[in-house]
């Protein structure tokens, strides 16, 4: 159904009146929550609708002669590369000719451009998004005896980076609308714990509720806020970019990201000169002067070719992110037209929800779907790409069992893991491909 909520407090108000009932096997409960909130607040505008900019969607291609639908890939890197091929190849050649492959001038140039794009004072390039998380935590002197609160609904690196510093991750449940870490749940999880930092994830390209986290920081002097912005370069909260919200912010440029390298790469932004200097030292084996090691650091330098390519792509990113928003709006319209969602649909697809304070960049377009695994198998048979981010929450991962969590500890996270399905989403996706995806989903539920 279409979610007509603008304020999570509406959902909380309804949730407070529910009596305890067994959890349903799929998304019936969450649909009913949304329906109840929407029915109680019929004047609330639709927060999921993203009005497209005219004439920016990639038009449909001619239908194949056979009349059969074509496969739809989850991603197609070749389409983006075709549009910037000449610039990228020239940049790679320039680096090869200069022979400055490690920390060449292109690295500093990209760091300056990325800092400006994020409204941050400093940006430090590194080898991956995983290393970005470790660098930020280590530079902030988070270590043994410290605890960091984060979400169990994220990629593994969110938790492993905390452990890598010798600290302990404490999980808190998510907001069922945005899938982001719930500040209310964090407040409860912090009680009596030696919490030094909170690590919210801007999941799928939408910033976490930073108003609530900023209030938590005010209420707990000395508490650090570190953004896991791996999926959110270009996203904003109240007009402020991801990367400028917390004490530090960590980005991934893995090839699937909105801003993507041609290999692994990462970045940390910060407004702190102290953190900036310390991260630069840590990423180079703890050296401030060559061969003089002040600390045991790490080899996590951003290589020059990656930086050169990233700076080219950064210039196109606002256009690409807008195209993702347009495609998300088109998906929403197609699902509504297909009768798969809407205020009169008793049990159907739940579409992505965007907080009115956020500008979403749709790294992923993620739905909640009844009989999710059956639907995914059906789409795979029809050569339509999908993915599940993430099928097993972090608190249930075998390697993290020593943390002492068990099934049932985080019900919203576990419900999301059973229901979410990411559909094809990249700037060059065509409208006819979106129509193929939605038509196949309609046929599955027919």
Give me the active site residues, please: 257
Give the chain's length. Answer: 446
In terms of Cα–Cα distance, which of 9, 84, 11 is closest to 350?
A: 11
List the structure tokens of 138. Answer: 């280590």
Q: Residues 425, 429, 435, 441: is their CA dihedral positive or negative?
A: negative
Contact 130, 279 (CB under 8 A): no
List the structure tokens of 114. Answer: 């990325």
Q: Residues 63, 65, 66, 72: is their CA dihedral positive or negative?
A: negative
At residue 185, φ and ψ (nearest 5 deg) are -65, -35
Q: What whole-number distance in Å separates Cα of residue 302 and Cα of residue 95?
A: 13
Q: What whole-number distance in Å separates Cα of residue 357 and Cα of residue 157?
A: 27
Contact 140, 223 (CB under 8 A): no
Q: What whole-number distance in Å separates Cα of residue 299 and Cα of residue 304?
A: 15
List the structure tokens of 412. Answer: 């919203």
Positions of E strands within 159-222: 168-171, 195-199
* 2 contact partners, CB below 8 Å, separation of at least 6: 46, 48, 332, 336, 341, 342, 343, 351
List the structure tokens of 267. Answer: 């970045």
Q: What whole-number distance in Å separates Cα of residue 8 and Cα of residue 178?
A: 9
Q: Is 122 helix (H, G, I), strand (E, B) or coil?
A: strand
């Amino acid at each position: 159904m279409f979610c007509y909520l603008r304020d999570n407090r509406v959902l909380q108000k309804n949730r407070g009146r529910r009596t305890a009932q067994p959890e349903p096997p799929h998304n019936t409960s969450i649909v009913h929550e949304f329906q109840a909130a929407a029915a109680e607040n019929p004047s609330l505008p639709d927060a999921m609708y993203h009005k497209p900019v005219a004439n920016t969607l990639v038009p449909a291609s001619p239908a194949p002669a056979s009349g059969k639908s074509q496969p739809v890939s989850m991603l197609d890197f070749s389409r983006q590369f075709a549009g910037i091929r000449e610039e990228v190849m020239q940049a790679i050649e320039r680096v090869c000719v200069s022979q400055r492959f490690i920390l060449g001038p292109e690295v500093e140039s990209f760091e300056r451009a990325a800092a400006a794009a994020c409204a941050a004072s400093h940006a430090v390039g590194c080898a991956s998004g995983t290393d970005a998380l470790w660098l930020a935590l280590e530079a902030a002197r988070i270590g043994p005896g410290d605890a960091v609160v984060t979400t169990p609904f994220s990629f593994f690196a969110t938790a492993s980076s905390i452990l890598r510093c010798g600290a302990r991750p404490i999980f808190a449940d998510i907001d069922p609308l945005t899938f982001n870490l719930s500040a209310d749940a964090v407040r409860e999880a912090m009680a009596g714990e030696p919490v030094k930092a909170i690590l919210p994830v801007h999941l799928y390209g939408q910033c976490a509720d930073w108003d609530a986290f900023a209030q938590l920081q005010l209420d707990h002097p000395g508490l650090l806020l570190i953004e896991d912005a791996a999926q959110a370069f270009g996203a904003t909260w109240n007009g402020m970019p991801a990367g400028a919200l917390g004490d530090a912010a960590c980005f991934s440029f893995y090839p699937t990201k909105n801003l993507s390298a041609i290999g692994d790469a990462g970045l940390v932004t910060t407004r702190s000169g102290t953190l900036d200097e310390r991260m630069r030292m840590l990423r180079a084996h703890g050296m401030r002067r060559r061969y003089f090691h002040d600390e045991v650091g790490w080899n996590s330098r951003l290589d020059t070719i990656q930086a050169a390519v990233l700076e080219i792509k950064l210039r196109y990113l606002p256009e690409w992110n807008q195209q993702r928003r347009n495609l998300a709006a088109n998906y929403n319209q197609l699902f509504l037209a297909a009768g798969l969602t809407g205020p009169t649909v008793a049990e159907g697809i739940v579409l992505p929800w965007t907080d009115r304070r956020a500008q979403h960049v749709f790294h992923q377009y993620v739905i909640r779907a009844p009989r999710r695994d059956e639907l995914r198998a059906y789409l795979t048979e029809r050569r339509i790409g999908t993915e599940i981010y993430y099928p097993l929450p972090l608190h249930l991962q075998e390697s993290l069992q020593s943390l002492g969590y068990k099934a049932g500890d985080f019900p919203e996270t576990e419900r999301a893991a059973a229901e979410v399905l990411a559909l094809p989403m990249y700037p060059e996706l065509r409208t006819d491909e979106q129509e193929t995806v939605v038509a196949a989903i309609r046929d599955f539920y027919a």
